[in-house]
Chains A and B, each alone.
Chain A
Amino acid sequence: MAEGLTKRYGDFTAVDGINLTVKRGEIYGLLGPNGAGKTTTVRMLTTLTQITSGNAWVNGYSVREEPLLVKRSIGLVPDVSNLYDELTVEENLLFAARLYNAPIERVRELIREFDLPANKKFGKLSSGFKRRTTIAAALVHRPEVLFMDEPTTALDVSSARNVRNLIRLLNKEGITVFITTHNMIDAESLPHRIGIIKEGKIIAEGKGRELKELMGKGMVVKLLVEPITSKLINEIEAYSPTFDEGFIVVTVEDVDEFLEELFDLKMRLGFKVKRISTELPTIEDVFVELTERNGCSCGGCPL
């Protein structure tokens, strides 16, 4: 639980008084664009960064007043692994076990469960095995809360899927999981609840279904038109269009009405409609809608 959690670096506020509650046994996903404050939030919750103001409680312990008790009850899987390249997988896990006074049998158990190459140096492992070993090291003391910062970043499709399955399995075993991500597959498939963070503030929170309802009862329409002119964009300004790999993406309440308007525009402006598709909104649509509502932040718009 966090109350008014704030982190300032000089004049810059990285996390701006966020409040959030994660229920025991759930997977909570913190979504946000780069630089939104996700990692800083995790670093504060895991005692790695000092809190400027506010406080947070993890597993009932105050991050500010009881950091050692917080550390005993959490595991952290950072976006960049914190294990030692020069040590073998087994040595890394043994070191972690000794730091937490965990039994050595636990190391053997994890090596077996995670199917890890015990005698291979950590630095020589593939990205997928590195991530699995880092997760194993974070679980050596059987933490009650597992923090994972961008758990599938830099993994190939198959390794990312394995990690997602692993997270679900760990959660089924009773571990509360807090993940940060900007990967929409993770966001769509993993968390029970999602918080969307932008410029250090939580701008929306809820179950995936609840967030999708924020988009109204509408549909997402993707258009591929040529040419995309500023006149066209001005005409559909009311739909808050965004851009995705050359497509214009809008969310509409009434598809028929929008199509009529579009073809009317086509006659007047003379553009070609090359493709149209309609979809139910996804978490990605919610994310884009909420994080880019006040001006596009993708940096890749065609205009």
Chain B
Amino acid sequence: MKILVIAEKELKEYILKPGSISWGIIFPLVFTLAFAVRFGDVDHLAPGLMSISILFGTTSFVSSSIIFERRLRTFERLLVAPVKRVEIVGAKILVGTLFGLFVGAVSFLILRLFMAYRVWNPLLLITFMFVSGTAFSGLALWVSLRVENPINAMTWLNLIRLPMIFTSGAIVSLLLFPHWFIVVGLITPMTYAVDGMRYAMLGYYDVINPIYDLLVTVLLSMLFTYLSVEELRRLY
């Protein structure tokens, strides 16, 4: 499987690099700690904070790695080798997801210090962290490949990421908003990650049945993988 060969190379290349440390350790540590210290009892907030950490960690990592590789033209090393486009995309998403799991774990370890309850279903939580990571990584890869000037990728990602923090119910529960806003929440990919992780951690959910959360997040991962493969086909 070339996916694993490429993924292993990416891990060797990017691990312990300044970008990885800042997005992988410093960001989730400082961000989570700030909320935890401010609110104390963070049980209801924890899934949202972890989702935000995973969202920003994965998207920043995947986006910057693809931008650098395209600019330095090392990305063409993969394209000129007998590797299918889906394997290249798969490897990028896998590494982004592993990074997301790490970022989520850092965030969780901080939150655990301030949480009153134990995690309701740890295995389901890891599952949701994993599929959220793949969906977010796929989204970042697709956006980063789509923009003409790779530098604009961060601008476009922020245009997507920042509103999602609000519309997904990560910080403020969607149940506190009028009905029409919940509809906005339902078309926000991150809502399913937040809601599913909330169910896995606390045993209850705000808006959507967790089976649908899982299903939609998996479908989004597949959709963004497909779109990224098609984008690669268009570009090269």
Contacts and interface: CB of A to CB of B under 8 A. Distances in A.
A72 B82 contact: yes
A69 B84 CA distance: 12
A65 to B, nearest CB: 15
Interface string B46-68: 00000000000000000000000
Contacts of B83: 99
Contact of B82 (A50, A71, A84, A85): A71
Nearest to B17: A86
Interface of A: 46-50, 68-69, 71-72, 74, 76, 78, 80, 82-87, 91, 95-96, 98-100
Task: Decide if the interface of chain B is mainly helix, strand, loop or mixed.
Answer: helix
Contact of A99 (B74, B81, B236): B81
B79 A47 contact: yes
A80 B76 CA distance: 11
A86 B5 CA distance: 16
B236 A100 contact: no
Given A74-B80, A99-B78, A99-B83, 19 more contacts: A47-B80, A48-B76, A48-B79, A49-B236, A50-B236, A68-B84, A71-B80, A72-B82, A82-B73, A82-B74, A83-B77, A84-B9, A84-B13, A84-B74, A86-B13, A91-B12, A96-B77, A96-B81, A99-B6
Interface of B: 2, 5-6, 9, 12-14, 17, 72-74, 76-84, 236
A91 B77 CA distance: 14
A100 B81 contact: yes
Contacts, number: 59
Given A46-B80, A68-B82, A78 B73 contact: yes
Nearest to A137: B77
Contacts of A49: 236
A89 B74 CA distance: 14
A76 B84 CA distance: 18
| Residue from the set A78, A98, A100 with the largest chain B CB neighbour count within 10 Å | A98
A86 B20 CA distance: 14
18 contacts: A47-B80, A48-B80, A48-B236, A76-B76, A78-B73, A78-B76, A82-B73, A82-B74, A83-B77, A84-B9, A86-B13, A86-B14, A86-B17, A87-B9, A87-B13, A91-B12, A95-B9, A98-B5
A174 B6 CA distance: 31
A143 to B, nearest CB: 11
Contacts of A72: 82
A84 B80 CA distance: 15
